Chain A
Amino acid sequence: MNTGQKIVIDPVTRVEGHGRITVHLDENHHVEEARLHIVEFRGFEKFVHGRPYWEVPVLVQRLCGICPVSHHLAGAKAIDEIVGISPGSDHTLTPTAEKMRRLMHYGQVFQSHVLHFFYLCSPDLLFGIDGEVESRNIVGVAMAEPELAKKAILMRKFGQEIIRATAGKKVHGISAVPGGIHKTLSAEERDYFLNGKEIPAIDTMIDWALEGLDFFKSFHRDNREWLDGYAAVPSSHMGMVRKDGALDLYHGDLKVVDAEGTLLQTFDYHDYLNELGEETKSWSYMKFPYLRSLGRQDGWYRVGPLPRLNVCEFLPSPLAQKEFEAFRAYTGGRANNMSMHYHWARLIEVVHAAEVIRDLLADPDLQKDNLIARGTAAGEGIGVVEAPRGTLFHHYKVDDAGRINFCNLIVSTTNNNTAMNRAVAAAAEDLMEGVPEVTEAMTNGVEVVLRAYDPCLSCATHAVGQMPLRIELYDAGGTLRDVRVR
């Protein structure tokens, strides 16, 4: 008689959106299979059909309340091409428009990374994966490390204020329009971020970003074995780089390296359909992208902060560059495949984003009024940015009346689908292999590695409502054996 078990973690907590993890144990309590299921259907690619192209940048950001700026800008970049504006062509964005968009984007990355690390993940580091459930949240952090929590809250506020000043609203902004931007940064708005009177100044943000990074590095020194080894999986890595190899989150080519760091390919993102395939599986609404050059079996890859630092050659800001050099030296210059090091890379990007914001705030182009460029209309546009969670693709075609008749989106989290499934399986094997009873700490441990990827399941599919954690244990016959709810 088979007495195997199926463990369900539904929904997963402290991630953006709604997902479910199942772990199948055989009769000897060995992990047979672990999967991340995305169980909600969204269908945004169909919603936009028939809408006029100029609605896209505002419409598609409704995909998500967490990273709307990323969808706003990827959509805007694609629609730029439909109105004949394309980087590297004779018709490009005006300097003011591109810099305003970049400021918005780096503000988004700054606040998103801060939220993710300090609000969602730091409780696992501060209290341990087996810490009291009641403490594993931002209030718990506030109790244990009040100065850290205060700084994290003000850092997120700073990033959101950058978004408000550039996009018009903190959530679901409206400023990026086909061919440009409809808002500049006034001198008064600029000074708000520089003088430190109403909110801490950008220089303070840089200092605090470095402190946050030191917090992680200190934890790493004390917990090296766990952070390095937990759910580590070798993979290919993809991210955006400038022509000179620098990290660029707004525009560039896509570069892919293998698990050792060897270059596999660099391609113009307009060729993404030739370079990337998408596989579907019956148990998830989220697709499984892969590199066509390596095939479905071996072509999976990772995106996000860790891969970005694995593919770029340098960071074009001095303080972050220094940290990047230490990060790369840790693996002897080879690719870093340690899943928990996503946090390390993310916090280096926080420093980098703050430095970029500082430089942009000092740029007088942001107060100029040449906002819109025009070119020759085209029937198709592709826009790609590096969203906080990774590479984000928007692709549209329009009919003769300018109505959308094709839309394809590959969101950051979707790129990481196979990787997250592999990481969940690795964590389940680490924690549950041969164990007769699954504890709350074990299920949280599985979630910990998923959180490292900062998945946005609402982008990938859908997210509505409360997110309590429900764990159900079934025997092989489908009989409910145990239930845990938190």
Chain B
Amino acid sequence: MPGVRSAMSGSGEAGAKRILVCTIGNPGRGDDGLGWAFADALEAQCGDTLDIERCYQLAPEDAERFARREHLVLVDATVAADVETFRRRMIVPDDANTAAISSHRLDPVAAVTLAARLYGRAPRTELIEIRGYRFELDIGLSEAAAVNLDLALAAAADLAGGETAAMSRDDAPIVES
């Protein structure tokens, strides 16, 4: 069974900042660019205090990197009907989630699950999902998605200071096998 450690500091990677923000999506497919747009805005505000990355999708190799981090924030577009504008939540490894894995693409929970199971630890991970509506071949966000992006950014102001609100919470675990 995984153990829980409630507070750690340091990144585990030389020269790395305390928080890694990994944004997921494809700006060539309309609102799927929400993740990268989030990265662009965050980088303009506080690029010096965060490690910010952009990727098209998560892959198993990312689990190896994530396992060496303490704090991870994943940002992605979503079409989930129960997400009205955006949703920010903690995610933890979940073995029951792995059936959803297809090919070499991992969803966020599968990525931290793989980190925990393979490397013995998963970072304290937050997932920010931003509601998108239009995912056809196109560059640029829909108006509604752009509004949701602004709301998500406003609610992520803690990141600008190099902190996450969840860092000190007891229910924000780092999971160790």
Interface residues of A (CB under 8 A from B): 13-16, 65, 115, 119-120, 133-135, 137-140, 142-143, 146, 149-150, 153-154, 156-157, 160, 171, 466-468, 486
Q: Is B165 an interface residue (CB 8 A)?
A: no
- Judge whether A142 and B64 touch: CB under 8 Å: no
> With A13-B103, A140-B98 given, can you name 18 additional A-B contacts, CB distance below 8 Å?
A65-B56, A115-B104, A119-B60, A119-B103, A120-B104, A134-B96, A134-B99, A138-B60, A138-B101, A138-B104, A139-B101, A139-B110, A143-B117, A153-B61, A154-B64, A156-B61, A157-B64, A160-B61
6 pairs of A and B residues whose beta carbons are closest in the complex:
A137-B101, A139-B98, A134-B99, A142-B118, A467-B102, A157-B61
Task: Give the contacting residue for A153; candidates B64, B96, B101; CB below 8 A.
Answer: B64
What are 20 A-B interface contacts by the 8 Å CB criterion? A14-B102, A65-B56, A115-B104, A120-B103, A135-B98, A137-B98, A137-B102, A139-B101, A139-B110, A139-B114, A140-B98, A142-B114, A142-B117, A149-B118, A150-B64, A150-B119, A153-B60, A153-B64, A467-B102, A467-B103
Bound CA span A343–B102, Å: 20
A211 to chain B, nearest CB (A): 17
Bound CA span A113–B98, Å: 23
Task: Give the contacting residue for A139; candidates B103, B117, B119; CB below 8 A.
Answer: B117
Chain A at the B interface: SS class = helix
Residues on the B chain within 8 Å of A137, using CB? 98-99, 101-102
- Among residues of B, the one whose C-beta sits closest to the C-beta of A138 is B60
Q: Is B63 an interface residue (CB 8 A)?
A: yes
- Judge whether B102 and A468 touch: CB under 8 Å: yes
Q: Is B78 an interface residue (CB 8 A)?
A: no
Q: Report which residue of A134, A171, A466 has the largest number of chain B beta carbons within 10 angstroms of its beta carbon.
A: A134
- Among residues of A, the one whose C-beta sits closest to the C-beta of B115 is A142
Bound CA span A143–B119, Å: 11
A37 to chain B, nearest CB (A): 19
Residues on the B chain within 8 Å of A153, using CB? 60-61, 63-64, 118
- Judge whether A171 and B56 touch: CB under 8 Å: yes
A239 to chain B, nearest CB (A): 26
Bound CA span A149–B101, Å: 15
A429 to chain B, nearest CB (A): 27
- Judge whether A146 and B117 touch: CB under 8 Å: yes
Q: Is B113 an interface residue (CB 8 A)?
A: yes
Residues on the A chain within 8 Å of B99, using CB? 133-134, 137, 486
Residues on the A chain within 8 Å of B117, using CB? 139, 142-143, 146
Bound CA span A140–B99, Å: 9
B104 to chain A, nearest CB (A): 5
Bound CA span A450–B101, Å: 19
Q: Report which residue of B60, B64, B95, B113 has the largest number of chain A beta carbons within 10 angstroms of its beta carbon.
A: B60
- Judge whether A119 and B102 touch: CB under 8 Å: no
- Among residues of A, the one whose C-beta sits closest to the C-beta of B104 is A119
Residues on the B chain within 8 Å of A133, using CB? 99
Residues on the B chain within 8 Å of A140, using CB? 98
Residues on the B chain within 8 Å of A466, using CB? 102
- Residue-by-residue, is B85-98 near A (CB-CB < 8 Å gives 1, otherwise 0)? 00000000001101
B16 to chain A, nearest CB (A): 13
A136 to chain B, nearest CB (A): 9
Bound CA span A139–B95, Å: 9
B132 to chain A, nearest CB (A): 14
Q: Report which residue of A142, A143, A146, A154 has the largest number of chain B beta carbons within 10 angstroms of its beta carbon.
A: A142
Bound CA span A46–B56, Å: 26
- Among residues of B, the one whose C-beta sits closest to the C-beta of A17 is B103
Bound CA span A109–B64, Å: 22
Residues on the A chain within 8 Å of B113, using CB? 139
Residues on the B chain within 8 Å of A15, using CB? 103
Residues on the B chain within 8 Å of A149, using CB? 118
A165 to chain B, nearest CB (A): 16
Task: Give the contacting residue for B118; candidates A135, A146, A467; CB below 8 A.
Answer: A146
Bound CA span A16–B105, Å: 11
B55 to chain A, nearest CB (A): 9
Residues on the B chain within 8 Å of A468, using CB? 102
Residues on the B chain within 8 Å of A486, using CB? 99
Bound CA span A134–B95, Å: 9
A167 to chain B, nearest CB (A): 16
A439 to chain B, nearest CB (A): 17
Bound CA span A146–B119, Å: 9
Bound CA span A308–B79, Å: 44
Bound CA span A51–B149, Å: 35
- Among residues of B, the one whose C-beta sits closest to the C-beta of A171 is B56
Bound CA span A135–B101, Å: 10
Bound CA span A135–B98, Å: 8
B164 to chain A, nearest CB (A): 26
Residues on the A chain within 8 Å of B103, using CB? 13-16, 119-120, 467
A369 to chain B, nearest CB (A): 30
B91 to chain A, nearest CB (A): 15
Q: Report which residue of A13, A139, A143 has the largest number of chain B beta carbons within 10 angstroms of its beta carbon.
A: A139
- Among residues of A, the one whose C-beta sits closest to the C-beta of B119 is A150
Decide: A134 near B118, CB < 8 A? Known: A153-B64, A156-B61.
no
Residues on the B chain within 8 Å of A154, using CB? 64
- Among residues of A, the one whose C-beta sits closest to the C-beta of B59 is A156
- Among residues of B, the one whose C-beta sits closest to the C-beta of A14 is B103
- Residue-by-residue, is B42-70 near A (CB-CB < 8 Å gives 1, otherwise 0)? 00000000000000100011011000000
Residues on the B chain within 8 Å of A115, using CB? 104
Bound CA span A119–B114, Å: 13
- Among residues of A, the one whose C-beta sits closest to the C-beta of B99 is A134
Residues on the B chain within 8 Å of A65, using CB? 56
B146 to chain A, nearest CB (A): 23
Decide: A150 near B118, CB < 8 A? Known: A14-B102, A120-B103.
yes
Bound CA span A157–B61, Å: 6
Bound CA span A15–B104, Å: 10
Residues on the A chain within 8 Å of B102, using CB? 13-14, 137, 466-468
